[in-house]
Structure formats: C-alpha cells, structure tokens
C-alpha cells in the first residue's frame, strides 16, 4: 500500500467511525442495561420447539411472540391463512406520525427439522451457553445472574441464529428506540413467519388475505449470516432454485457383470456421460440457452462486487481446494450466473454392499440455481432439450415395457415442485441507498453490499403478491451451523444486530 493510499484508507475509517450516531450509542447503552432481561426472554423463546410441521408447538411460538409484542404495545395480531391449521404469521405495527411510506421488517420463527441424536453439543430445544464454539473447545457455562456477559459466548439451540435471532433483534431494537423517545421516520410493520424453512407454502395466501396490512415500499428481511470476514452486510437478491431428478434405465433386472458385461448397457455409465456433457472443464454449463435472458448487473452492482473484501484465497485454503471453477472469476461474480449442480448420484451399491452387477437404473438429483432473468420452468425445458439432443427418449413416468422395447436410451425427468425464480432489487433505488447508509452508520468497517446472495429464498412470493421490493439484512455469525445440528449464535452478533435493526428502523429514504 502506498503512503498516500494508506493515508486515504485511514481517513475513510476515521470518517466512517465518526458517523456512529447518537441513536447507536444510546441503543448500545440500552442494551448494556438490559442484557439479562433480553437473554431471558430470548432463551424462553428458543426453548419452544419450532419445526413448522409440529403444528401444536409452532402455534405456541406464535402465541409467545404475540405476547412479546403485546407487552410492547405493538397491537399484534395473528395473520392466518385460508387453509386450516397453517402456522400463522405474527404481525404488529409501529406508526410514524404523518408518514405516508412504510417498510415491512420480516423474520421467521420456525426452524429446520432436527435429529436430536446428532445434537452432540446440547439438545436442540434446551438453550445452552458455551464459552466459545463447540468445535473449538467451548465449554458449557451458566449465565451469571447479573454483571457483564462475554460477547464471544455462544448460545446453542435450534433457531438461535436462523431465525429467532432476527425476531429478538427486531423487537429489542424497537425497545431501545422507544426508550430513547425516537419515533420511526416511516411506518414500521413487523411480520414473523412460521413456515419459512418449509418453503413458505402459505405466505402468498397470507399476503393475499392481508394485503392492506402488508403493503410497503420495501420488505427488509432479517435472516442469514453476515459476511465470512465478520463485516456487516446488505444483500439485494437471492438466487432461484429448482430440483430435477433424472433416471436412466438399463436392463429390467440386475445382471451378472461377468456374464453380461460388454453386452448389456450400464445405466450408471450412460448417466455419467450424459451429466459430463452438461458442463465443460471450466464449469461452464454447455446446455444451449442456459445463460440466455440473464439480466446483466448494473454499475452499482458491479461496483459493489469489486469493493467486497477478497476472500476467495482464504476460502480455497480453508476448503482444501487447489483450483476453483469459472476461469479465474471470483465467487461473487459466479453466483450472479445460473448454475447446474449434481446434488447426488445413485446406482447399484458401494462399500460393503458392492456386488459385481450391472445395475438396473442410475439416478441423479440436479440442483439448478437461477439468477434474475431466468425462469425456473424454462430452464428445465432447456435441460430436457439437451437430454433429448443426446439421443434420450424423455418420459415423466416409470418406463413401460413397450417404451423399453422401442427406445435404446430412456431418461425419466421429473422437475420437483417448489421451484421458484430469483429476485434482485436495484441497488440504486432511494430505499436501497438509504438502507446501505443506515447499516453503514453502525459499523466502523465498510459494510459488504451484495447484489445477490448465493443461497435461495422464495422472496419472489413477496414480490409476486405485492408491488414492493425486498432486501436482506443478515445478522448471524457465518459459522452458526445454520440448518445443521449444534446451531448457535455468537452473542456479539445479536448485540450488533440490535444496533443494525435500530438504524434500519430510522432510515430516511429520499423518495
């Protein structure tokens, strides 16, 4: 770094850190004075099992959050779907005097399914403190009755980070602002969904039934982890997703590989060849039209990617990868392109069950990640076209005897239900600019702004049912074991999240 550069760098940090607002300082003071109270409410919420299919317990979560909001005077209500026995969304409002604009702040209170046997750190619904991450030797500790709590401590429980941390950070940010006598600059609507990890199958229905309540200039989603570098993040999109099962047929019964090898076609080999034809050596998908229609990134988006901390070398070293795909392009550039992944392949047996047979079928589950401009159904048609061009007769059912006799190559292709498109909000909208400024005001390091996250969320459900835009403000630690066993939250991430959300609640977009 040149001296001039170094000076400029220092200057930027000084300027940025000087922005820490009165509200942020007071929010921190409020939190420091109420840590024990906040964590007591949080651990009670975490102790209620929250798998969406467990209808009895999921409703207990909704009622607990309803009470949390009642205590705060937010006039909450449960938003039910038309379909019976669906996890309700919990809704509350904080009105700004005279405001004509509104934002919805969203989190979800359901969590991924759990297999308690795999929770080696502590049971999933028994919130447990550790002095550090379990994997790095963190020991179980008891929270002191009063006094300081080490912010590096971690709280272990399902949904500690994904996404009850969001619920807690939002409601505590509200507490802190109200305690300071600060009113929001626009109407704030809080919604907590109870079926996100199940793919939000009734969110569209709930939105349609309560459109007036849920209309807003933007939906701000508080979910997911911050950047691996630990910096705060604002994300303007998500990838779409579509799973497809492809099954290739061999003989009707397994054959002795000695008696029939060289004669009977092997479906695993046919599948391997077919899959290999779908990508070149650099990882680029070779299916015709795969990249057609992709909406190019704008200046603000390209600039944001260039500015994001370079983390690829560190990731390669952590992951033991000597080489990555994409012809030298960065991870952040590549997640803005549609992808084609093999989730798994199955044919015959390996390991102790391996036998010398020619298997009868071979199946691959493909995972198509989509970006803005892709349509998930159209992408499946391109895949099917490619399979046809390779000489396969494509069917959507188990092959019949007549079909087996007539066609040398048969592929059963099933697009799974639940696929959806990507979503991306422009980073140069007034509300986008205001959100970036708000989150930046709470951080001395430059925040990370991403046009899209690599992961998928059905945010298109929101924009298909309402005229609004979505953006995501994650708060959890990146190493939170999201969706897996031993999920945890680093306490400092909750504290930072409260300050982030308080800033979000006071944004002032120049509409």
Residue closer to Zn ion by CB (options 223, 233) is 223
Residues belonging to the chain: 511
Our finding on whether 301 is near Zn ion (CB under 5 A) is: no
Q: Which of 163, 217, 241, 496 binds Zn ion (CB under 5 A)?
A: 163
Which helix (DSSP H) or strand (DSSP E) does residue 307 occupy?
Answer: helix 299-307
Gap between the Cα atoms of 409 and 362, Å rounded: 12
Q: How far is CA 509 from CA 234, 324, 505, in A?
A: 16, 40, 11
**Using CB under 5 A, which of the segments 35-43, 154-162, 209-217, 401-409 binds Zn ion?**
154-162
**Using CB under 5 A, which of the segments 215-223, 228-236, 247-255, 274-282 binds Zn ion?**
215-223
Residue closer to Zn ion by CB (options 163, 423) is 163
What is the maximum span of the chain, computed from C-alpha positions, in angstroms? Answer: 84
**For residues 387-416, which are near Zn ion according to CB under 5 A?**
none
Gap between the Cα atoms of 186 and 183, Å rounded: 9
Residue pair 41/168 in contact by the 8 Å Cβ criterion: yes
Residue closer to Zn ion by CB (options 80, 162) is 162
β-pair type (89-94, 128-130): unpaired
Query: Helix/strand/coil (H, E, C) string of 364-376?
Result: EEEEEEECCCCCH
Our finding on whether 175 is near Zn ion (CB under 5 A) is: no
Gap between the Cα atoms of 444 and 498, Å rounded: 16
Site string for Zn ion, 251-270 (x = CB under 5 A): --------------------
CA 383 to chain centre: 25
Closest approach, Cβ 483 to Zn ion, in A, equals 8
Residue closer to Zn ion by CB (options 163, 241) is 163
**Using CB under 5 A, which of the segments 5-13, 60-68, 163-171, 473-481 binds Zn ion?**
163-171
Closest approach, Cβ 229 to Zn ion, in A, equals 21
Closest approach, Cβ 123 to Zn ion, in A, equals 21
Our finding on whether 162 is near Zn ion (CB under 5 A) is: yes
Our finding on whether 195 is near Zn ion (CB under 5 A) is: no
Residue closer to Zn ion by CB (options 163, 496) is 163
Burial class of residue 149 (count of CB atoms within 10 Å of its CB; 0-12, 13-18, 19+): middle
Residue closer to Zn ion by CB (options 221, 271) is 221
Interface with Zn ion (CB under 5 A), residue total 3
**Using CB under 5 A, which of the segments 83-91, 94-102, 158-166, 466-474 binds Zn ion?**
158-166
Burial class of residue 478 (count of CB atoms within 10 Å of its CB; 0-12, 13-18, 19+): middle
In DSSP terms, 218 is beta-bridged to: 103, 469
Closest approach, Cβ 210 to Zn ion, in A, equals 21
Which helix (DSSP H) or strand (DSSP E) does residue 67 occupy?
Answer: helix 55-71
Our finding on whether 223 is near Zn ion (CB under 5 A) is: yes
Residue closer to Zn ion by CB (options 163, 175) is 163
Task: List interacting residues with Zn ion (CB under 5 A).
Answer: 162-163, 223
């Amino acid at each position: 770094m040149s001296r001039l550069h170094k000076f400029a760098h220092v200057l930027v940090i000084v300027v940025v850190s000087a922005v820490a607002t009165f509200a942020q300082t007071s929010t921190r003071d409020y939190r420091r004075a109420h840590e024990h109270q906040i964590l007591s409410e949080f651990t009670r919420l975490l102790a209620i099992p929250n798998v969406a299919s467990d209808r009895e317990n999921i409703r207990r979560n909704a009622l607990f959050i309803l009470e949390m909001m009642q205590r705060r005077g937010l006039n909450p209500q449960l938003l039910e779907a038309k379909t019976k026995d669906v996890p309700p969304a919990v809704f509350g409002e904080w009105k700004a005097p005279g405001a004509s604009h509104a934002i919805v702040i969203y989190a979800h209170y359901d969590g991924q399914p759990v297999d308690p046997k795999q929770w080696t750190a502590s049971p999933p619904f028994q919130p447990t403190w550790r002095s550090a991450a379990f994997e790095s030797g963190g020991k179980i500790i008891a929270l002191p009755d009063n006094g300081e709590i080490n912010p590096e401590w971690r709280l272990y429980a399902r949904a500690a980070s994904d996404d009850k941390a969001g619920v807690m950070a939002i409601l505590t940010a509200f507490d802190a602002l109200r305690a300071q006598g600060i009113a929001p600059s626009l109407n704030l609507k809080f919604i907590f969904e109870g079926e996100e990890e199940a793919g939000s199958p009734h969110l569209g229905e709930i939105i349609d039934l309560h459109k007036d309540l849920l209309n807003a200039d933007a939906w701000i989603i508080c979910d997911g982890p911050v950047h691996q570098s630990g910096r705060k993040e604002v994300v303007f999109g998500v990838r779409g997703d579509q799973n497809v099962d492809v099954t290739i047929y061999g003989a009707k019964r397994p054959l002795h590989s000695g008696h029939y090898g060289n004669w009977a076609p092997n479906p695993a080999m046919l599948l391997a060849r077919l899959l290999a034809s779908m990508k070149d050596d650099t990882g680029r998908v070779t299916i015709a039209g795969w990249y057609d229609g992709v909406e190019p990134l704008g200046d603000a988006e390209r600039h944001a990617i260039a500015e994001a901390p370079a983390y690829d070398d560190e990731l390669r070293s952590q992951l033991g990868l000597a080489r990555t795909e994409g012809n030298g392009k960065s991870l952040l550039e590549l997640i803005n392109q549609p992808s084609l992944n093999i989730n798994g392949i199955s044919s015959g047996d390996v390991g102790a069950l391996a036998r010398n047979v020619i298997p009868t079928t071979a199946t691959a589950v493909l995972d198509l990640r989509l970006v803005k401009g892709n349509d998930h159904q159209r992408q499946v048609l391109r895949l099917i076209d490619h399979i046809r061009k390779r000489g396969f007769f494509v069917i959507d059912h188990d092959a019949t005897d007549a079909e087996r006799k007539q066609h040398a190559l048969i592929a059963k292709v099933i697009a799974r239900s639940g696929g959806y498109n990507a979503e991306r909000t422009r980073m140069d909208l007034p509300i986008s600019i205001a959100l970036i400024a708000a989150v930046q005001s709470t951080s001395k390091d430059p925040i990370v702004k991403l046009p899209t996250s690599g992961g998928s969320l059905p945010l298109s459900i929101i924009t298909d049912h309402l005229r609004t835009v979505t953006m995501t403000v994650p708060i959890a630690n990146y190493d939170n074991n999201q969706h897996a066993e031993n999920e945890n939250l680093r306490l400092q991430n909750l504290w930072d999240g409260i300050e982030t959300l308080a800033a979000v609640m006071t944004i002032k977009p120049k509409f």
